[in-house]
């Protein structure tokens, strides 16, 4: 009788849990990510061992049921299939030079992922460092060893994984590109079954047009204005703009400091991240622009009052300008 513990079953299981891990990471569910990431690595590691010989999945603990089964010495598999754990499977692959040997940091990170997976399963996890890079790097090494295609394994997450593995991009660029890919996935998941009209309706519902005062502080005012989201390509993102007291009256210069999309959840939290996302970091408004914005707003009187409050250098001449 053919063993139910086969390369194909282990490989397909690793694929499924890898994608579940990516979805959990995109939703910022750390515990679910750790559980699925650990299971994916474990199953792919076992698949790599099976390709060499199934007996490599046998525990060395005095019991020979699985050994006899994998060797084909018995006709029926044991009632309870028990193979080696993740740590043992990884240890054997290290001895085979498939995975990095200790004490390299990459090896320590992989051990940390498995330990956290076990900890989450039993106790729950507290805030820990992000192990997404460990997952993708380990899977990539194992895929190369078993001669399987990366895109076929990751499917819709292939571009995201390429971003994570790309050594040419700096840390900030990779973080922004990863967030962008995750936001696109969330958008597809949330709106996949809705007609285009419903998506546009949702975009209008979360959009606020005009130049809106968010906060006024000492020496600085923060605005938001509507922007097209670089992740979902819908005009549903709030672009946050800051201006200082020394901004000139007739050519007000605002610096983009962040972005948040109400549809896909894509966010940027600094001017450098805004630039990395391909958006302009400086926006200029003339007095004519501000006049038009106030006139087109839902409540011109209120909008005028808040603009006067937010712009100290314009306040002296605001009455004449508007």
Block mean pLDDT (10 aa), the chain, length 322: 83 96 90 92 95 86 77 80 88 89 74 79 54 92 95 93 81 89 89 80 83 78 90 92 69 87 93 92 74 55 45 35 26
pLDDT of residue 318: 30
* DSSP codes of every residue in 184-253: HHHHHHHHTTS-HHHHHHHHHHH---SEEEEEEETTEEEEEEEEE-TTT-SEEEEEEEEEETT--SSSEE
pLDDT of residue 294: 54
Q: Establish whether the linkage from the previous residue to 103 is cis, with ω within 30° of 0.
A: yes
pLDDT of residue 302: 46
The pair of three-digit structure tokens given for residue 105, joined into one six-digit string: 């940091």
pLDDT of residue 44: 96
Cβ(204)–Cβ(196) under 8 Å? no
Cβ(241)–Cβ(260) under 8 Å? no
Cα-based distances in Å from 238 to 147, 196, 203, 256, 319: 45, 21, 12, 11, 28
Cβ(220)–Cβ(233) under 8 Å? no
Burial 215-247 (b: 16+ CB within 10 A, else e): eeeeebbbbbbbbebbbbebbbbbbbbbbeeeb
CA distance 66 to 58: 6
Per DSSP (E only), the strands in the chain are 211-217, 220-228, 235-244, 252-261, 267-268, 282-285
pLDDT of residue 256: 93
């Amino acid at each position: 009788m053919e063993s139910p513990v086969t390369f194909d079953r282990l490989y397909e299981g690793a694929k499924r849990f890898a994608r579940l891990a990516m979805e959990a990471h995109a939703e910022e569910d750390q515990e679910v990510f750790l559980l699925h990431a650990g299971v994916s690595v474990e199953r792919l590691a076992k698949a790599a061992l099976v390709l060499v010989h199934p007996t490599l999945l046998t525990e060395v603990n005095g019991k020979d049921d699985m050994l006899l089964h994998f060797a084909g010495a018995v006709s029926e598999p044991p009632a309870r299939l028990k193979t080696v754990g993740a740590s043992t499977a990884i240890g054997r692959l290290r001895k085979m030079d498939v995975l990095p040997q200790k004490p390299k940091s990459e090896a320590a990170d992989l051990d940390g992922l498995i330990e956290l997976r076990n900890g989450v399963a039993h106790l729950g996890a507290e805030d820990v460092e992000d192990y997404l890079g460990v997952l993708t790097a380990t899977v990539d090494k194992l895929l190369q060893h078993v001669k399987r295609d990366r895109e076929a394994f990751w499917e819709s997450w292939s571009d995201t994984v390429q971003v994570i593995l790309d050594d040419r991009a700096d840390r900030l660029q990779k973080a922004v590109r990863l967030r962008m890919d995750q936001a696109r996935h969330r958008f597809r998941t949330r709106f996949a079954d809705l007609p285009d009209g419903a998506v546009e309706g949702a975009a209008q519902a979360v959009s606020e047009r005009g130049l809106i005062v968010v906060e006024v502080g000492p020496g600085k005012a923060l605005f938001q204005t509507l922007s097209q989201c670089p992740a979902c390509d819908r005009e549903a993102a709030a672009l946050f703009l800051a201006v200082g007291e020394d901004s000139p009256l007739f050519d007000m210069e605002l610096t983009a400091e962040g972005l948040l999309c109400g549809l896909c959840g894509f966010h940027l939290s600094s001017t450098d991240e805004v630039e990395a996302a391909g958006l302009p970091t400086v926006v200029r408004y003339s007095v004519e622009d501000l006049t038009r914005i106030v006139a087109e707003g839902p409540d011109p009187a209120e909008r005028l009052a808040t603009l006067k409050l937010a712009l100290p250098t314009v306040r002296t001449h605001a009455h004449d300008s508007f």
